[in-house]
């Protein structure tokens, strides 16, 4: 069984709202729109200290009572963290006690990634190991290997986001999703893959990410749009 907080992902896919600008207001709006889980993007919030991060998490939890994922994304994976890698990892570890899951990149250095994974597992938190390719959709075999590498790195959920150049690329990602034997989150980004944010859940993707205001990833749909369609399909 895989859960994020109290949300059981074995029963249905979750709509995750990305929290970036005006975080407390956005989190409240996300709950009204129907979000199941919140992803707090510390790299987009210009929060660099554990004190400020913990205060924000407590405020958001009090206001929404929704499970939270902590993400502090590397620039090379589409994030905006500009301080040191050591500070990035230290922040994630320091706030684990207050969140329900943590997202760490597969491309992060093995030593620092292992620190986050082991700290999260010791704290009983769900681990998402993620990989993003903003330039292409790799071959099916390579995508399957990436997901396997995420699980080998300690993922409870392997997240793979890729950029399609054709509808065949989108179909290939859906095939990879269906073939996975463990919990995955798969996304085909951009306008060409926009529909994958809905239908990937029909093939086994356990998370789909939506926006409240401005999208934080290419092709991201709004939370209430995702929620409405998923309730019709699943």
d(CA 42, CA 50): 11
Q: Which two tokens stand for residue 108?
A: 């992060």
132 is catalytic: yes
Q: Which of 159, 165, 181, 195 is catalytic?
A: 159
d(CA 185, CA 200): 8
> Strand, helix or coil at 84?
coil
Q: Which of 3, 132, 145, 227 is catalytic?
A: 132
d(CA 210, CA 215): 8
51 is catalytic: no
> Strand, helix or coil at 4?
strand
- Label each residue of 186-204 as H, E or C: EEECCCCCCCHHHHHHHHC
d(CA 120, CA 89): 12
Active-site residues, by number, are: 132, 159
């Amino acid at each position: 069984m895989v859960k994020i907080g109290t949300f059981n992902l074995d029963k249905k896919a979750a709509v995750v709202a990305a929290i970036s600008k005006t975080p407390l207001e956005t989190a409240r709006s996300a709950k009204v729109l129907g979000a199941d889980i919140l992803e707090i993007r510390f790299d987009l919030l210009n929060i660099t200290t554990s004190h400020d991060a913990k205060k924000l998490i407590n405020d958001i939890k009090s206001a929404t009572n929704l499970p939270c994922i902590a993400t502090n994304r590397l620039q090379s994976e589409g994030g905006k963290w500009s301080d040191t890698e050591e500070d990035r990892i230290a922040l994630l570890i320091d706030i684990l006690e207050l969140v329900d899951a943590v997202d760490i990149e597969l491309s992060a250095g093995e030593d620092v990634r292992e620190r986050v994974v082991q700290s999260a597992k010791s704290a009983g938190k769900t681990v998402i190991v993620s990989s993003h390719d903003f330039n292409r959709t790799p071959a099916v075999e390579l995508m399957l290997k990436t997901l396997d590498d995420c699980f080998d790195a300690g993922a409870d959920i392997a997240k793979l986001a890729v950029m399609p150049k054709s509808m065949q690329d989108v179909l290939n990602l859906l095939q990879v999703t269906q073939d996975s034997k463990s919990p995955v989150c798969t996304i085909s980004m951009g306008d060409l893959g926009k529909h994958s944010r809905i239908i990937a859940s029909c093939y086994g993707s356990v998370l789909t990410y939506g926006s409240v205001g401005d999208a934080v990833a290419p092709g991201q749909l709004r939370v209430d749009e995702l929620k409405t369609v998923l309730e019709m399909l699943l």
